[in-house]
């Protein structure tokens, strides 16, 4: 099978990682793939902050969980109060993806870059998980300077990365997701 299609079909969200740090050449290859994502008018409206500092990763998880625990949603409350839950699943690296505020289509641009991160990681047999709940951490304005996000950008998502310590199987795909008009 074509290796790109194979990576697409085999990629899974990994929620259990081995503790060893990623090798720099692998991380650099993943970041390069992110930078090659398509973007509106080729604005490349993203910025990537690589966090390998365990204390900061843990802090982002804890601060997010504090806010999650105060939400109206029962499932968010439960996750936020769960002492065993770690937002990044104890991954040794997290890439915070920030979008340029004045860009034409920054959230879409960053989402395309994230998909490239996920697929590049899979092609290297590295686990990844797109983390949306980190938005709770991003909402704490006094915390944002810790991420060293450049002026004019705001963080939107994060991706947990690490060597896989699990191999989840494929989930069924919807069969009615496509219509043809000839």
3-state SS, the chain, equals CCHHHHHHHHCCECCCECCCCCCHHHHHHHHHHHHCCCCHHHCCCEEEEEECCHHHHHHHHHHHHHHHCCCCCHHHHHHHHCCCCCCCCCCCEEEEEEEECCCCCHHHHHHHHHHHHHHHHHHCCEEEEEECCCHHHHCCCCCHHHHCCCCCEEEEEEEEEEEECCCCCCCCCCCCCCCCCC
Characterize 164-179 residue by residue with b for buried, 16 or more Cβ atoms within 10 angstroms of its Cβ, and e for exposed.
Answer: beeeeeeeeeeeeeee
Count the Cβ atoms, other than its own, within 10 Å of residue 83.
Answer: 6
Average pLDDT over residues 142-146: 97
pLDDT tens-digit readout, 63-99: 999 999 999 999 999 999 999 999 999 999 999 999 9
Average pLDDT over residues 107-117: 98
Cα–Cα distance between 22 and 25 in angstroms, integer? Answer: 9
* Three-class DSSP category at 55: helix
Q: What is the pLDDT of residue 150?
A: 97
Q: What is the pLDDT of residue 171?
A: 84
Structural domains of the chain, with CATH: 3-163 (3.40.109.10)
List the structure tokens of 144. Answer: 């944002």
Q: What is the pLDDT of residue 172?
A: 85
Average pLDDT over residues 168-174: 85
pLDDT tens-digit readout, 114-140: 999 999 999 999 999 999 999 999 999
Cα–Cα distance between 182 and 26 in angstroms, integer? Answer: 43
Name the average pLDDT for the chain: 96
Distance (Å) of CA 165 to CA 19, 42, 160: 9, 37, 13
Q: What is the pLDDT of residue 170?
A: 82
């Amino acid at each position: 099978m074509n290796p790109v299609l194979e990576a697409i079909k085999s990629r899974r969200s990994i929620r259990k990682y081995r503790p060893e740090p990623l090798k720099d050449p692998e991380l650099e290859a993943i970041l390069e793939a992110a930078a090659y994502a398509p973007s509106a008018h080729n604005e490349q409206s993203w910025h990537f902050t690589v966090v390998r500092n365990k204390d900061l990763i843990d802090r982002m998880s804890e601060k997010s969980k504090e806010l999650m625990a105060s939400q109206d949603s029962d499932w968010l409350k439960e996750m936020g109060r769960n002492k065993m839950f770690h937002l990044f699943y104890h991954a040794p690296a997290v890439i915070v993806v920030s979008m340029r505020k004045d860009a034409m289509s920054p959230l879409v641009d960053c989402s395309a870059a994230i998909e490239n991160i996920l697929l590049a990681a899979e092609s290297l047999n590295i686990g990844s998980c797109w983390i949306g709940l980190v938005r709770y951490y991003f909402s704490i304005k006094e915390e944002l300077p810790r991420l060293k996000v450049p002026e004019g950008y705001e963080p939107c998502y994060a991706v947990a990365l690490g060597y896989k310590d699990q191999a989840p199987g494929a989930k069924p795909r919807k069969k009615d997701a496509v219509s043809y008009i000839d």
